[in-house]
Amino acid sequence: MKKLTGRDFLRITDFSPTEIREVLELAAELKEGRKTLRTQQVLGLLFYKASTRTRVSFSVAMYQLGGQVIDLNPQVTQVGRGEPIADTARVLDRYLDILAVRTFAQQDLETFAHYGNIPVINALTDLEHPCQILADLLTIQECFGALAGVTLAFLGDGNNVAHSLLLGGALLGMNVRLATPAAYGPDPAIVAEAQQLAAPGTEILITDDPRAAVQDAQVIYTDVWASMGQESEANDRLPIFQRFQVNEALFAQADPQGIFLHCLPAHREEEVTAEIMEGPRSRVWDQAENRMHAQKALMASLLGL
Ligand code: CP
Ligand code: NVA
């Protein structure tokens, strides 16, 4: 997979459908032990927001590859005291082999990538969460044996996770339906991009009707109603998002073989009931595990292992 060597992964659309399929295949090979890879390279984690899954899955993935990880917490590095990103990026470039950044503005991530030569990975911005979507695609493929033609319904806030699902689903030939309150819809530029990427005959639906989205869908997906950085809006959002809650009544409209996914962390009885989270169709723990396998394959590809 040499053509991914040295590349950045800032948006899910940075990879072609073939490249995404190759990363997913490598992830499956690594997960099943059909392949082992070794490196002594060093990953830097620069996270401006909290993280459990992304932080730990990237770290364990790198340790299992034989490499090392440095936690570049902005609270104890100079970038958190105002050293310009352009300077920080050029210095980190001289020490590290690969860098994962979790931040707010996509532009800041792009600046890290622009000023460094090492691969830079988007570990979540306000615009996208492409690493999450690699793991989601791996999980969906495991459950249904394929991605093309599978219908995914996302309910909730049309921001980072929804954006990457829309684009990633469109790239891989899935039908993607997003049901959000009208004022919390996806970025129109992302929708236009997804429509352009979508193969003829596949569905891209943006609606404020949760039932229309869920009807006969195979994957029902949700995320928190107030993302990191929006906590002060959480209470105001509750009544607006209430009818988008994934519960038994809504799930009954889905395909009988349908599964439930959530990027986590979850707020039970808000975006999803405990009954669905803990129910027989929930695949959220497999999905969380797959973060590690997908990111191991991603780093191996970008490092040319
Ligand atoms: N899904 C996800 O990215 O989780 P963390 O915020 O815990 O990394
Ligand atoms: N939309 C959520 C995803 C967290 C993994 C957030 O941005 O906080």
Backbone angles phi, psi at 186, to 5 degrees: -70, 160
The active-site residue out of 11, 126, 131, 132 is: 132
To the query of whether residue 114 is one of the catalytic residues in this protein, the response is no
Give the pLDDT confidence of 46-56 residue by residue, as tens digits. Answer: 999 999 999 99
- C-alpha of residue 264 to centroid of ligand 1, in Å: 6
Give the pLDDT confidence of 128-148 residue by residue, as tens digits. Answer: 999 999 999 999 999 999 999
149: exposed, middle or buried (C-beta count within 10 Å: 0-12, 13-18, 19+)?
A: middle
Closest ligand (CA of 125): 2
To the query of whether residue 177 is one of the catalytic residues in this protein, the response is no
| Residue 69: Cβ within 10 Å count | 18
**Could you identify the atom of ligand 2 that is nearest to the CA of residue 132?**
5
CB 186 within 8 A of CB 160: no
To the query of whether residue 263 is one of the catalytic residues in this protein, the response is yes
Ligand 1 atom 6: residue of nearest CA: 51
Indicate whether residue 228 lines ligand 2 (CB < 6 A). yes
- C-alpha of residue 171 to centroid of ligand 1, in Å: 23
CB 220 within 8 A of CB 251: yes
In 3D space, the residue among 81, 149, 89 whose CA is nearest the CA of residue 119 turns out to be 89
Ligand 1 residue neighbourhood (C-beta within 6 Å):
51-54, 124, 132, 263-264
> What residues have CB less than 8 Å from 18, skipping those under 6 apart?
none
**Is it true that domain 130-287 has CATH number 3.40.50.300?**
no
Give the pLDDT confidence of 101-131 residue by residue, as tens digits. Answer: 999 999 999 999 999 999 999 999 999 999 9
The active-site residue out of 11, 53, 102, 293 is: 102
Ligand 1 atom 7: residue of nearest CA: 52
| Three-state SS annotation for the chain | CHHHCCCCECCHHHCCHHHHHHHHHHHHHHHCCCCCCCCCCEEEEEECCCCCHHHHHHHHHHHHCCCEEEECCCCCCHHHHCCCHHHHHHHHHHHCCEEEEECCCHHHHHHHHHHCCCCEEECCCCCCCHHHHHHHHHHHHHHHCCCCCCEEEEECCCCHHHHHHHHHHHHCCCEEEEECCHHHCCCHHHHHHHHHHCCCCCCEEEECCHHHHHCCCCEEEECCCCCCCCHHHHHHHHHHHHHHCECHHHHCCCCCCCEEEECCCCCECCCECHHHHCCCCECHHHHHHHHHHHHHHHHHHHHCC
To which residue do tokens 């980072």 refer? 160
Mean pLDDT of 25-53: 97
Q: Where in the chain is the domain with CATH 3.40.50.1370?
A: 2-128+291-302, 130-287
CB 121 within 8 A of CB 100: yes
Q: Show the tokens assigned to 273.
A: 């009931």
Instruction: Please list the residues that pair with 305 across neighbouring strands.
Output: none
Give the pLDDT confidence of 63-104 residue by residue, as tens digits. Answer: 999 999 999 999 999 999 999 999 999 999 999 999 999 999
Position 1 pLDDT exceeds 90: no
User: What pLDDT, on the 0 to 100 scale, is given for residue 112?
Assistant: 98
CA distance 205 to 242: 20
Q: What pTM was computed for the model?
A: 0.98
The CATH code of the domain at 2-128+291-302 is: 3.40.50.1370
To the query of whether residue 34 is one of the catalytic residues in this protein, the response is no
Give the pLDDT confidence of 258-290 residue by residue, as tens digits. Answer: 999 999 999 999 999 999 999 999 999 999 999
Backbone angles phi, psi at 108, to 5 degrees: -65, -40
- C-alpha of residue 299 to centroid of ligand 1, in Å: 18
